[in-house]
Amino acid sequence: MTKIRCHCGSPKNFNECCEPIISGIEKATTALDLMRSRYSAYATYAAEYLLATTYISQRQYYTRSEILKWATSNQWLQLEIIQVTENTVEFKAYFLDSKQQKQIHHESSTFKLKNGSWFYVGGNFFD
């Protein structure tokens, strides 16, 4: 089995870092853990996980097909964590778009802990 470094930028291998969270074996214990696992989910096209970790009141704004289209049309290069509080994570996601142009998605995401699980609520985007 080939071990690959985790997509989230952790020095751990994917199978020891985000994969157990994405597969449901483990839970994200912090907002940052959830943010990192969601980035890795985009890189591995885990649309079901992305929907499941979106806060229930926000799921109506996303579809599996839209998530999958966004995930697969981009080549995910790097996640940079800028600032973390208990329930927010500011980050930059670097990627190549479908035209192989370098792009940066800069967001401050808000997360909510409910019944022992973290969920993505929404984000404020930067230019």
Which helix (H) or strand (E) covers residue 34, if one does? Answer: helix 31-43
Q: Show the tokens assigned to 71.
A: 């995930």
Range of the domain at 24: 14-126
**10 Å Cβ neighbour count for 73?**
12
What's residue 114's pLDDT?
A: 97
For residue 68, give the CATH number of its domain. Answer: 3.10.450.50
pLDDT by residue for the chain (127 residues), tens only, comes to 568 899 999 999 999 999 999 999 999 999 999 999 999 999 999 999 999 999 999 999 999 999 999 999 999 999 999 999 999 999 999 999 999 999 999 999 999 999 999 999 999 999 7
pTM of the shown model = 0.95
For the chain, helix, strand, coil in percent to 5 are 30, 35, 30
Task: Tell me, yes or no, whether 86 lies in a domain.
Answer: yes
Q: Show the tokens assigned to 60.
A: 């109506």
**Rounded CA separation 48/23 (Å):** 10
Task: Tell me, yes or no, whether 2 lies in a domain.
Answer: no
Task: Tell me, yes or no, whether 7 lies in a domain.
Answer: no
Number of domains in the chain: 1
Task: Tell me, yes or no, whether 24 lies in a domain.
Answer: yes
What's residue 3's pLDDT?
A: 81
Task: Tell me, yes or no, whether 9 lies in a domain.
Answer: no
